């Protein structure tokens, strides 16, 4: 399959993901973002994702960081990782560091802020995938809705970056 065909197929997946509920869409958008990152050379997923984000235009980075959904995650009370379910593993210190880095770098180093936001989104997606998020728990629904909004915008930006 030619590279353009792969991106065209990912775009079809993105359109289908738009029709999903927040719970399902978070995973679908995350996987599309990974597929787009995998179009870029790099030794592992992390490096490819960083390389993808490095291709984003400055205006697009600012557009993502200015989404109301970012504020939703930054201002969540109690903060992310501070409420854990039975058997759920968390790292409150890492989450605090990531949230602080997004807040502090939004204006002065937007790319660094976006990379930290990516770590937060990965954490949310992984919690969802491992059964620690539910569409029927109000707090989880707020987190999933915000993550969906951000991931959807990131995917649109990523499609343009890989073309």
Supply the pLDDT for residue 44: 94
Whole-structure pTM value: 0.92
Q: What is the pLDDT of residues 55-106, one digit of tens each?
A: 999 999 999 999 999 999 999 998 877 666 655 566 778 888 999 999 999 9
b vs e for 19-54, b when ≥16 Cβ sit within 10 Å of the residue's Cβ? eeebbebbbbbbbbbbbbbbbbeeeeeeebbeebbe
């Amino acid at each position: 399959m030619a590279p353009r065909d792969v991106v065209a197929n990912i775009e079809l997946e993105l359109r289908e993901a738009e029709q999903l509920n927040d719970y399902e869409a978070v995973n679908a958008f995350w996987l599309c973002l990974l597929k787009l990152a995998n179009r870029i050379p790099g030794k592992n997923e992390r490096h490819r994702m960083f390389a993808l984000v490095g291709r984003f235009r400055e205006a697009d980075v600012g557009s993502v960081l200015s989404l109301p959904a970012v504020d939703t995650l930054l201002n969540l009370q109690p903060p992310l990782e501070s409420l854990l379910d039975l058997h759920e593993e968390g790292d409150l210190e890492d989450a605090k560091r990531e949230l602080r880095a997004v807040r502090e770098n939004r204006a002065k180093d937007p790319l660094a802020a976006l990379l930290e936001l990516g770590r937060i989104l990965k954490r949310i997606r992984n919690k969802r995938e491992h059964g620690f998020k539910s569409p029927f728990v109000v707090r989880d629904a707020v987190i999933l809705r915000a993550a969906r909004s951000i991931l959807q915008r990131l995917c649109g930006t990523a499609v343009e970056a890989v073309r």
